């Protein structure tokens, strides 16, 4: 299809129709009495074309300069109500939208829409261009209530003017489907995409690049729903179409490669994901240059693989490089910069560097509130991440109101049954559960489970996570039979959906093993712990922190059986992993040292026990000094309550 409505974005998610990046016209009706300067009009068209190219390259400031010059010429020569003026206004809006400056983009789109409605009538197909542009802007701002009627109107105009099988109908269907997907309404989005694919396959042929865009979006929808087999097949088809039509080194091929890699990453197949991310990175760097914003996408995805595998030393510089590219290209206050900062902050949280994580999460919140408004779902996400830092530090007095505010924002923006609402409910429930307030935690977990099951289906991996959360509360409240049943169900779902070797299966096994450990059922618990350890070592590598956690749990089984020598070996190996991956001052290092101290006491090795206990206490003391040196009196008191005694004993895996 001709890209009448604009260019298609290359992003990590579904490819929605971008704002209408339009080319001006030369010749035609001028709409005024005085004959325009033909050379000037041609120059304006050249400047507009230059701006379009700069927008596609992510060079928004250069685009703004060019399109402003074109706009000034067209207004002078053609009049302020000419269609080409609308073209310039729409492109100027696109440049500002690309910069994340929605406040300046919106009135430009609105003015372009008004000009075209007046010049062509409200039902002309060209009116759909600024309608789509304005709708995309509202989508990015999280204002789906304003975006949806614009997209519905654009679809209606095109169907009436062009007929139900015109390729532009496919574009309108696609845009509406992407909106529904973002809202979590997959049941409405899927048939729209299937209809759009059918239209374009018939009109353009099954191997056309525009068909690939629609297939890509359908694949993304299936991936989100957890239907990985159908998603993989469609992503492979997209890649094949683009390689054949565009060549192996085109940026759109890199997007397809990147998306396939993301699918493998979701499935826990990091061995297949990593080389694909590297290939996508190489294509983008060669085709667009090493400083193009699109280069940041595979960089941060590759960093995500390394972070998931616990290789934080390789992940951090990739995030830092991607951040530098985005800040230079888009400015330090752009929402895409906030996304990278958020990923980097989460990495620091995993490493136990809560001071740096908190600072970055604060910055993310500030960027998103300013750029997107205080009611955007991504503001809710930022509030949740900041709240999780406070909760980890024991400052629930600051964490709880942030989580409640986040839940309110996400529910209002996305609706009460969106998967993101379930995530917010889970986070709030974790806070109550760790405080021992199971009466408040359980209904939140149960609501999240019901929502996730309804939205994503009973066999989605997120359902397994919710089942484990509910099971953890049953375990704490003494309902062992219910807890065991839910752990077993979570295991069946994870194995069926993700395969028996996925790290999430290892996580479920670890939780189930921990349940049997607490019950004193070593016969059933130990082999589960052994299996979890094997899965994690193979999938994540032998030095991943989750491997360390499984080692500690397995060590506890051997300690209880009186096999102190094997327990000691496992504790020491876990200690080495945590010291290397998380640093020698991480709280979990102190916890493992405490476990070793108790083991030495049991073996009558008082000297070793005192040595390990003193080192553990020293770590906790230094962490306390560092934490108590900053923050409010309330934060200091919260930290003291949380750390009033050393944490000696089992390190367990709990879902949060």
pLDDT category of residue 19 using cuts at 50, 70 and 90? very low
> Sign of dihedral through CA atoms 55, 130, 136, 255?
negative
What is the model's pTM?
Answer: 0.78
Which H, E and C letters describe 398-436, residue by residue? HHHHHHHHHHHHHHHHHCCCCHHHHHHHHHHHHHHHHCC
Write down the pLDDT at residue 508.
94
Write down the pLDDT at residue 652.
34
Which H, E and C letters describe 115-175, residue by residue? HHHHHHCCCCHHHHHHHHHHHHHHHHCCCHHHHHHHHHHHHHHHHHHHCCCCHHHHHHHHH
What residues form DSSP beta bridges with 8?
17
Domain spans in the chain, listed from the N-terminal domain onward: 1-162, 546-656
Give the residue-averaged pLDDT of 493-506.
90
Give the residue-averaged pLDDT of 172-177.
94
Write down the pLDDT at residue 267.
87
Q: How far is CA 319 from CA 300, 363, 403, 440, in A?
A: 5, 16, 26, 37
**Least trusted range by pLDDT, from 125-129, 354-358, 648-652:** 648-652
Average pLDDT of the chain, as a whole number: 87
What residues form DSSP beta bridges with 79?
none
pLDDT category of residue 655 using cuts at 50, 70 and 90? very low
Q: 185-214, pLDDT tens digit by residue?
A: 899 999 999 999 999 999 999 999 999 999
Q: Does domain 1-162 have CATH number 3.50.50.60?
A: no
Write down the pLDDT at residue 632.
53
Write down the pLDDT at residue 616.
87
- 641 exposure class (CB count in 10 Å sphere: 0-12, 13-18, 19+): exposed
Q: 594-620, pLDDT tens digit by residue?
A: 999 989 888 888 898 899 898 888 887
Give the residue-averaged pLDDT of 177-187.
91
Task: Enter the DSSP assignment of 17.
Answer: B
d(CA 115, CA 111): 6
Write down the pLDDT at residue 633.
55
* Predicted confidence (pLDDT) at residue 301 exceeds the cutoff of 80: yes
* Predicted confidence (pLDDT) at residue 1 exceeds the cutoff of 60: no
3-state secondary structure of 8: strand
On whether the CB atoms of residues 462 and 452 are closer than 8 A, the answer is yes
3-state secondary structure of 364: helix
Write down the pLDDT at residue 6.
31
Q: Do domains 1-162 and 546-656 have the same CATH topology?
A: yes
* Predicted confidence (pLDDT) at residue 649 exceeds the cutoff of 70: no
Give the residue-averaged pLDDT of 167-183.
93
Question: Nearest 5°: phi and psi at 17?
Answer: -70, 120
CA 645 and chain centroid, separation: 37
Write down the pLDDT at residue 311.
87
How many other CB atoms are there within 10 angstroms of residue 64's CB atom? 22
Write down the pLDDT at residue 125.
93
How many other CB atoms are there within 10 angstroms of residue 417's CB atom? 17
Task: Enter the DSSP assignment of 651.
Answer: -
Give the residue-averaged pLDDT of 619-628.
66
Neighbouring residues of 275: CB distance < 8 A, sequence distance ≥ 6: none
Write down the pLDDT at residue 396.
85
Give the residue-averaged pLDDT of 23-42.
61
Q: 330-350, pLDDT tens digit by residue?
A: 889 999 999 999 999 999 988
Task: Enter the DSSP assignment of 293.
Answer: G
pLDDT category of residue 361 using cuts at 50, 70 and 90? very high
CA 352 and chain centroid, separation: 21
pLDDT category of residue 56 using cuts at 50, 70 and 90? confident
Q: 509-567, pLDDT tens digit by residue?
A: 999 998 998 888 989 999 999 999 999 998 888 988 889 989 998 998 898 888 999 99
> What is the second-level CATH architecture of the domain 546-656?
Alpha Horseshoe (1.25)
On whether the CB atoms of residues 131 and 113 are closer than 8 A, the answer is yes
Neighbouring residues of 511: CB distance < 8 A, sequence distance ≥ 6: 468, 471, 472, 487, 490, 653, 654, 655
Write down the pLDDT at residue 637.
53
Q: What tokens appear for 400 in the block?
A: 């709880």
The candidate with the shortest Cα–Cα distance to 389, out of 65, 85, 656, is 656
Q: 377-387, pLDDT tens digit by residue?
A: 999 999 999 99
Q: 246-264, pLDDT tens digit by residue?
A: 999 999 999 999 999 999 9
Cα torsion 525, 530, 531, 537 to 10°: value is: 140
Write down the pLDDT at residue 627.
53
Q: 79-135, pLDDT tens digit by residue?
A: 999 999 999 999 999 999 988 899 999 999 999 999 999 999 999 999 999 999 999
Write down the pLDDT at residue 438.
94
**Least trusted range by pLDDT, from 70-74, 79-83, 373-377, 389-393:** 389-393
């Amino acid at each position: 299809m001709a890209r009448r409505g604009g260019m298609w974005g290359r992003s990590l998610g579904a490819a929605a129709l971008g704002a209408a990046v339009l080319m001006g016209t030369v010749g035609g009706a001028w709409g005024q009495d005085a004959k325009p300067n033909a050379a000037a009009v041609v120059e304006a068209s050249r400047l507009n074309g230059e701006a379009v190219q700069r927008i596609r390259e992510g060079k928004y400031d250069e685009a703004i300069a060019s399109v402003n010059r074109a706009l000034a010429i067209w207004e002078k020569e053609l009049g302020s109500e000419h269609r080409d003026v609308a073209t310039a206004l729409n492109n100027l809006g696109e440049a500002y939208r690309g910069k994340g400056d929605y406040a300046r983009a919106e009135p430009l789109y609105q003015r372009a829409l008004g000009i075209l409605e007046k010049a062509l009538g409200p039902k002309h197909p060209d009116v759909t261009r600024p309608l789509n542009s304005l709708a995309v802007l509202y989508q990015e701002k999280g204002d789906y209530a304003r975006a949806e009627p614009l997209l519905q109107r654009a679809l209606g105009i095109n169907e009436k003017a062009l007929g139900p099988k015109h390729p532009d109908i496919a574009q309108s269907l696609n845009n509406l489907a992407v909106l529904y997907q973002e809202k979590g309404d997959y049941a409405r989005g899927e048939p729209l995409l299937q209809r759009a694919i059918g239209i374009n396959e018939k009109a353009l042929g099954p191997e056309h690049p525009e068909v690939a865009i629609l297939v890509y979006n359908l694949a993304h929808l299936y991936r989100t729903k957890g239907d990985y087999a159908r998603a993989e097949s469609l992503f492979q088809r997209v890649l094949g179409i683009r390689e054949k039509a565009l060549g192996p080194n085109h940026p759109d091929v890199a997007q397809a490669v990147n998306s396939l890699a993301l699918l493998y990453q979701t499935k826990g197949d990091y061995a297949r994901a990593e080389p694909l991310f590297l290939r996508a990175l190489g294509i983008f760097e060669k085709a667009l240059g090493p400083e193009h914003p699109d280069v940041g996408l595979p960089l941060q995805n590759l960093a995500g693989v390394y972070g998931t595998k616990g290789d934080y030393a390789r992940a951090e510089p990739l995030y830092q490089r991607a951040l530098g590219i985005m800040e230079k290209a888009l400015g330090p206050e752009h929402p895409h910069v906030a996304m990278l900062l958020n990923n980097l902050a989460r990495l620091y949280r995993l490493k136990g560097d809560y001071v740096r994580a908190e600072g970055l999460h604060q910055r993310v919140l500030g960027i998103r509130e300013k750029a997107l408004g205080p009611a955007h779902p991504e503001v809710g996400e930022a509030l949740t991440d900041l709240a999780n830092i406070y909760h980890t530090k024991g400052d629930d007095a600051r964490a709880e109101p942030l989580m409640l505010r986040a839940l309110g924002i996400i529910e209002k923006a996305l609706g009460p049954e969106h998967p993101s609402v379930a995530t917010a409910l889970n986070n709030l429930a974790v806070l109550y559960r760790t405080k021992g307030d199971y009466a408040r935690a359980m209904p939140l977990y149960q609501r999240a489970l019901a929502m996730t099951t309804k939205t994503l289906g009973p066999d989605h991996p997120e359902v397994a996570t919710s089942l484990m959360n509910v099971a953890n509360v049953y375990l704490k409240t003494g309902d062992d039979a219910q807890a065991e049943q839910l752990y077993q169900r979570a295991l069946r779902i994870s194995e069926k959906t993700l395969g028996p070797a996925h790290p999430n299966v290892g996580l479920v096994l670890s939780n189930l093993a921990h349940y049997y450990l607490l019950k004193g059922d070593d016969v059933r618990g130990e082999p589960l712990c052994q299996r979890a350890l094997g899965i994690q070592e193979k999938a994540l590598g032998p030095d991943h922190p989750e491997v360390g956690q499984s080692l500690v749990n397995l060590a506890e089984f051997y300690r209880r059986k009186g096999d102190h020598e094997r327990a000691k070996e496992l504790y020491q190996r876990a200690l080495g992993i945590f010291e290397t991956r998380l640093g020698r001052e991480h709280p979990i290092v102190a916890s493992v040292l405490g476990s070793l101290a108790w083991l030495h006491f049991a073996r009558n090795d008082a000297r070793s026990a005192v040595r390990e206990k003193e080192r553990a206490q020293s770590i906790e003391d230094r962490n306390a000094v560092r934490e108590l040196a900053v923050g409010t009196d309330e934060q200091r008191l919260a930290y003291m309550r949380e750390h009033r005694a050393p944490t000696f004993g089992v390190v367990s895996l709990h879902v949060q």
